[in-house]
Amino acid sequence: MANITDNGPAPLVANIEQDTIENTNYRTTLWTGANLQITLMSIEVGSDIGLEVHDTHDQFLRIEQGTAKVSMGPSAEQLQTWQASASDAVVVPAGTWHNLESVGDVPLKVYSIYAPSQHLHGTVHVTQEEGEAAEAAQQ
């Protein structure tokens, strides 16, 4: 795996596709600034990010590898679903409930851009359980 260090808010030039595919952690922050953050995610086949909503954050996700079942809607009970794969983008407006489930034959490799930042600078969650515990502790 590439040695990924969150050097934000310093300027960054990176091969984001390569870094995303090489990332084996559930979540790794690539860059954190005052108004924007880039995270890399690796989601094992059969796993998902968990149904969630960011009330104050817009989110852009780009799939670099794998296939996702994408669910989005105005509430947890009113979700529409799509299938997305490599090169597809998913845009999640603030206040939209959403989930990505890895449904392909290989881990889902995604990079996510949050505006404003969502996670602490330098965040690395090796597993989904670690990520969920950290998010619960922040609330």
- Where are the domains positioned within the chain? 16-138
- Label residue 127 by pLDDT band (50, 70, 90): confident
Comparison of pLDDT for 129 and 1, the residue scoring more = 129
Q: What is the pLDDT of residues 11-59, one digit of tens each?
A: 999 999 999 999 999 999 999 999 999 999 999 999 999 999 999 999 9
Q: Please state the CATH superfamily assignment of the domain spanning residues 16-138 in this structure.
A: Jelly Rolls (2.60.120.10)
- The phi and psi torsions of 138 (rounded to 5 degrees) equal -80, -20
Percent of the chain predicted with pLDDT > 70: 95
Q: What is the mean pLDDT of residues 58-76?
A: 97
Handedness of CA 136, 41, 29, 2 (dihedral sign): positive
pLDDT at 100: 98
Q: What is the pLDDT of residues 105-114, one digit of tens each?
A: 999 999 999 9
Contacts of 23 (CB under 8 A, 6+ apart): 1, 2, 4, 40, 41, 42, 109
Q: Which of 10-19, 67-76, 101-110, 129-138 has the lowest mean pLDDT?
A: 129-138
Its pTM stands at 0.85
